[in-house]
Amino acid sequence: MTRAPLRCLLALLLVAGSLLSCGLGRPPSMNPPGDAQQEDTFEDDVVSARTLTEEFWKQQFARLGRTYRPITEFIPYSGSAGPSCGGQPAVPDNAFYCPIGHFIAFDRDWMEGLWNDMGDGSVYVIIPHEFGHAVQAQLRSAFQLNVQAELQADCYAGGTLSALVSGGALRAEPGDEDELLLSLEAAGDPTDDWLDPAAHGTAEQRQSSFAEGYRSGVGAC
C-alpha cells in the first residue's frame, strides 16, 4: 500500500505505435489511507503501482479458476535506450507492454517528470493500462482494430484503479469522479478514424471506457 497522497492528476497521454502502446490519463486525486505526512518517492510509487496491479489481477484470474502469469521484467530505460519489441525500438516518452517476452518497459525520466510536474497519480494509471495489455495477451483477446485493444486497456485501468480504491489501498476524495471525466474529455485522438493502426480513441471514447471500468469494474470491459 502506498502512503503518500496522490497529489495532482495526469492529462491523457497518446503515443502512437502498434506494439508500443502507451499509458493514458488522470485517475481521481486520491489519498492512500494512513499517515498523510509520510510521502513516498517516485520509486516507491512505481513499485506500489506494479505490485498492487499484479496482485489485483492475480485475484481476478483466481476467481476465474485461472493462473495469472506475472510479467517477466519491468524495465526502466532512458530516452531511446530501451528494449526493442519485435524489431521495434523503444522510443522516448513512452511506456509499453511487449507480448514478445511478456514484459513492460517505461521511460523512467519521462514518467518521473510527470510524477514531479503533475502528481504521483500518473503512475497509477499508466502502469495499470500497460498491465491491461498484458492481461489481454494472457486471455488471448482478439481485436480487429488497435483502438479496440486500447479502449479495453483504458477500461481495465479504470477497473483496477476502482478496485484499489474500494479495497482500501487508495482513498478517493469527494468530487474526484467528476474531475476524472472532465480531464479525460480534454484529451484523445483528434479524429475518430478507427482504421488508423495507431489509433487510441477520441477523448470521449477513452473517457467512456475508463469511466465504465471505474464505475463497473473490469468485468464490464
The answer to the question of residue 175 being in a domain is yes
The pLDDT, as a whole number, for residue 78 is: 92
pLDDT in tens, 111-130: 888 788 766 667 887 889 89
Q: Does residue 6 lie within any of the structural domains?
A: no
Q: What DSSP letter does each residue of 156-204 carry, written as one string?
A: HHHHHHHHHHHTTSSB--TTHHHHHHHHHHT-S-SS--TTSTT----HH
More confident residue, 104 or 144: 104
pLDDT at 174 over 60: no
58 CB burial (10 A radius; 0-12, 13-18, 19+):
middle
Domain membership of residue 28 (yes or no) is: no
- Does the pTM surpass 0.75? The reply is yes
- From CA 184, how far away is CA 211, in angstroms rounded? 9
Q: In this structure, is residue 7 part of a structural domain?
A: no
188 is a domain residue: yes
Tell me whether residue 17 is in a domain. no
Looking at the structure of the chain, the number of domains it has is: 1
- Indicate the SS3 state at residue 221: coil
Identify the DSSP state of 48.
H
Residue 12, pLDDT > 80, answer no
Q: Say what the pLDDT of residue 88 is.
A: 87
Least confident residue range of 19-33, 103-117, 152-166: 19-33
CA distance 15 to 5: 27
Q: Which residues pair with 77 in a beta bridge?
A: 107
* E strand or H helix at 124: helix 123-139
In a domain, 149, yes or no: yes
| Residue-level pLDDT at 117 | 74
Q: Which of the two residues, 211 and 40, has the higher pLDDT score? A: 211
- Cα–Cα distance, 152 to 172 (Å, whole number): 23
Q: Which domain holds residue 158?
A: 42-215
How does 22-55 read in b/e, with b if 16+ C-beta sit within 10 Å?
A: bbbbbbbbbbbeeeeeeebebeebbebbbebbbe
Model pLDDT, residue 199: 65
Q: 33-73, pLDDT tens digit by residue?
A: 554 445 678 898 899 899 999 999 999 999 999 999 999 99
Residue 221 lies in a domain: no
